[in-house]
């Protein structure tokens, strides 16, 4: 599920420095749901409209061309079609930035949408990660391979990075940098020390 930034095609160099579990979340207490990929497609197609307790589900969408939307659509062909359908439905909530997305997921009653475990932990977001196929997303389930969904993050520099950029990359790949990233919900296994 990784895709290098388009800047790489223009002579830049990309270093994938973490992968964070890509997670479906809600702030609805007692949501009591465990989705399959097929049910996620049904959710985005508008076929699943409420939580088991009857609370209406409010999908939080991201812009169609945004990386998170492309990542979501890559989960399955059915989800791809359903997400395309959701983008054209009236009354949908659209979050432009990661922070706006997280804020809407916290405050809109019945909200459900995608973010990363890294953002939830590092920003102390009040959302509940939902299991997919009976697997609760965590660094442990991601590391074991039982939870396969993730978002890669890259540092992109010029072909010859500045001394400051080099210093930052050295910090990211240091033991201290790796520990900070890991404590904040990111898998650092892609970093070569």
111-131 pLDDT, tens digit each = 999 999 999 999 999 999 999
- Show me where the domains of the chain are located: 1-193
CA distance 25 to 95: 15
CA distance 40 to 54: 18
Residue 28 phi/psi, 5-degree rounding, is -75, 110
> Is the Cβ–Cβ distance between 173 and 155 less than 8 Å?
no
Give tens-digit pLDDT for 23-68. 999 999 876 788 999 999 999 999 999 999 999 999 999 999 999 9
**What does pTM read for this prediction?**
0.87
Whether residue 105 has pLDDT greater than 70: yes
Supply angle C-alpha 131, 132, 135, rounded to 5: 65
Whether residue 3 has pLDDT greater than 50: no
Give the mean pLDDT of 178-184.
93
> Is the Cβ–Cβ distance between 136 and 142 less than 8 Å?
no
State the burial class of residue 192 (Cβ atoms within 10 Å of its Cβ: 0-12, 13-18, 19+).
exposed
Extended beta strands in 27-145, E state? 58-61, 93-94, 111-116, 128-129
For 1-193, which CATH class? alpha beta
């Amino acid at each position: 599920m990784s895709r290098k930034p388009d800047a790489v095609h223009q002579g830049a160099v990309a270093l994938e420095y973490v992968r964070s579990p890509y997670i479906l979340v809600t702030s609805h207490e007692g949501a009591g749901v465990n989705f399959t990929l097929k049910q996620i497609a049904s959710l985005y197609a508008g076929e699943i409209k409420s939580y088991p307790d009857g609370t209406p589900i409010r999908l939080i969408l991201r812009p169609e061309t945004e990386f998170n939307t492309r990542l979501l659509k890559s989960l399955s062909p059915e989800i791809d079609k359903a997400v395309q359908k959701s983008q054209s439905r009236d009354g949908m909530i659209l979050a432009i930035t990661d922070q706006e997305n997280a804020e809407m997921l916290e405050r809109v009653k019945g909200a459900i949408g995608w973010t990363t475990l890294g953002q939830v932990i590092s920003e102390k977001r009040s959302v509940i990660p939902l299991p997919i196929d009976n697997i609760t997303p965590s660094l442990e389930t991601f590391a074991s391979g039982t939870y396969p969904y993730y978002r890669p993050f890259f540092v992109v520099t010029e072909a010859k990075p500045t001394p400051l950029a080099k210093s930052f990359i050295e910090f990211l790949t240091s033991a201290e940098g790796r520990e900070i990233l890991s404590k904040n919900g990111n898998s650092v296994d892609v970093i070569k020390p």
